Structure 1
Amino acid sequence: MSNILTEIEKLVTPIVEELNLELVDLEFVKEGRSWFLRIYVDTHEGGIDIEHCALVSERLSEVLDGKDPIEQNYFLEVSSPGAERPLKKESDYERAVGKFIYVKTYEPVNGLKEFEGILTAYSDQGLEMEVRIKTRKIKVQLAKEKVALARLAINFSA
C-alpha cells in the first residue's frame, strides 16, 4: 500500500507545485466495496476553492490514465484538508504554533493518550502544548515518536 502512495505522491507533487499549491496528505483506502484515492491540497496561505481541486483532479487524472499505477478500480477525490487539517510535516507543525490542536499518542503520557490545547512550541525533539485539565492549564511535552495523530482542532470552549 505504501508503494502505491509513494508512486502517487511522485505523480501529484509536480502538478501541485506547478499550480503553486501544497500537497497536504494523500490516502488510498477501501470503504465498503469501493476504493478511494484521496488527495488533500491547500494553498500556502490556507484557503483552497473548488476550482483548485478541479484543476488538480483533471491534471492528475490524465497522468494516472497514462501511468496506471493502481490495478483496481477506484474513485479519485481531490479536496481541501478542512478546518481540522492534519499535521504531518515539519512545516505543518511550525505553522500551527499558537493554534489549537488535537494530539493522540501511541501510549499514555501523564496517564492520558489524547490532548487538546494550544501548540506553544515545536522542535526536533517534539512539541509542547498548553492544555486545560478541568480548571487548570498545564504544559505538556510530547516526544515526536509518541505522536500517533495530530491535527488542527476547533476550540468550542473559546
Structure 2
Amino acid sequence: MMTDTAPEQNEAHQNDSLGLQDAWETAAHLMAPGPAAPLLSLVAPVVQDIGLELLRIRMTGQDGEQVLQIMADRDEGMITVEDCERISRAVSAVLDVEDPLKGQYILEVSSPGMARPLCRPKDFIRWAGFEAKLELSRAFDSRKRFRGMLTGFEDGEVLMDVPLDGHDEAPTLGFKFEDISEARLVVNDEMIADALKRQKGKNGD
C-alpha cells in the first residue's frame, strides 16, 4: 500500500535543492571564479549528495595541465581524508560522463583549514565574531582591502567592524556581497583555540 508521505518528501527535497541552487548562483563569483564557473552546477550537487557542502572550486594551470581544486566543508566537525576521497571518486565519475574539460586535468580535493575562504552568505553569518580580510572588486571609500571583525550578513551586505582613523570604536561597515572578490578568516589565537575545540569534539575527548 502506498502512503502519501513520499510525494511530500520528494517535494521537500526538490525545494531544498532549489534553495541550494539559488545559493550557489548567488555566490558563484566567490565559489567558482573565472574558468571554474561552468563546473559549479555539476560539482555542487555531487558534493551535496555525499552529505557535505561545496565551499569553492578553482581552475588553475600547472606544468601545462589543468588543475581542478575542490574545497569542501561541513556544518559541524571537520572534513576527513575519507571525505575527500569520496568526493574525488564521485566528482571524477560525473566529469567522465559530462566531459566538460578539454585535455588532461588533475583533481585536488581539500578541506578549508584555519585561514578558510569565505564564499557564501552563510559563511559570514557562521563566522561572525572572528577576524577576516576582504578584498573588493570596486573601491569602498577609496579602498579595496579591509580587515576587521565579522558581525554578520544582512540585506545582501557583509557586515564588519573595521578600525578607522578618527574613531575610538571600530564602526560597522556594510560591503555589498557582489563586490567582494576574495574573503578569508585571519589566523589568530582565537581561531587556533576554536580549531582545537573542534578537533577535540571530533575525537570525542
Pairwise TM-score range, normalised by the shorter structure? 0.7 to 0.9
Identify the residue that residue 147 of structure 1 maps to in structure 2: 180
Relative to structure 2, which stretch is displaced further, 117-126 or 136-145?
Answer: 136-145
Alignment map for 1:89-108 (pairs within 5 Å): 89-108=120-139
The share of aligned pairs that are identical, in percent, is 32
Identify the residue that residue 160 of structure 2 maps to in structure 1: 129
Identify the residue that residue 48 of structure 1 maps to in structure 2: 79
Q: TM-score, normalised by structure 1?
A: 0.82
SS at match of 1:69: coil
Tell me which stretches of 4 or more aligned residues in structure 1 moved more than 6 Å.
1-4
Query: 1:84 touches 1:153 (CA, 8 Å); kept in 2?
Result: yes
How far off is 1:52 after superposition? 0.3
Count of matched residue pairs: 158
Amino acid at match of 1:138: A
- 1:53-97 Cα deviation digits (max 9, x unpaired): 011101211221222111121101111122222222221122122
Query: 1:4 touches 1:69 (CA, 8 Å); kept in 2?
Result: no
Whole-angstrom CA distance in 2 between matches of 1:147 and 1:130? 16
Q: TM-score, normalised by structure 2?
A: 0.65
Amino acid at match of 1:82: G
Amino acid at match of 1:104: E
Q: Which one has the bigger helix percentage? A: 2
After superposition, the Cα gap between the structure-2 partners of 1:146 and 1:62, relative to the gap in structure 1 and judged at 3 Å, is: closer
Q: Which of structures 1 and 2 has the bigger CA Rg?
A: 2
Q: Which one has the bigger strand percentage? A: 1
Q: Which runs of 5+ in 2 are unaligned?
A: 1-31, 192-205
SS at match of 1:58: helix
How far off is 1:156 after superposition? 6.0
After superposition, the Cα gap between the structure-2 partners of 1:88 and 1:70, relative to the gap in structure 1 and judged at 3 Å, is: same
Identify the residue that residue 194 of structure 2 maps to in structure 1: none
How far off is 1:106 after superposition? 3.0
Alignment map for 1:28-67 (pairs within 5 Å): 28-67=59-98
Whole-angstrom CA distance in 1 between matches of 2:175 and 2:100? 36
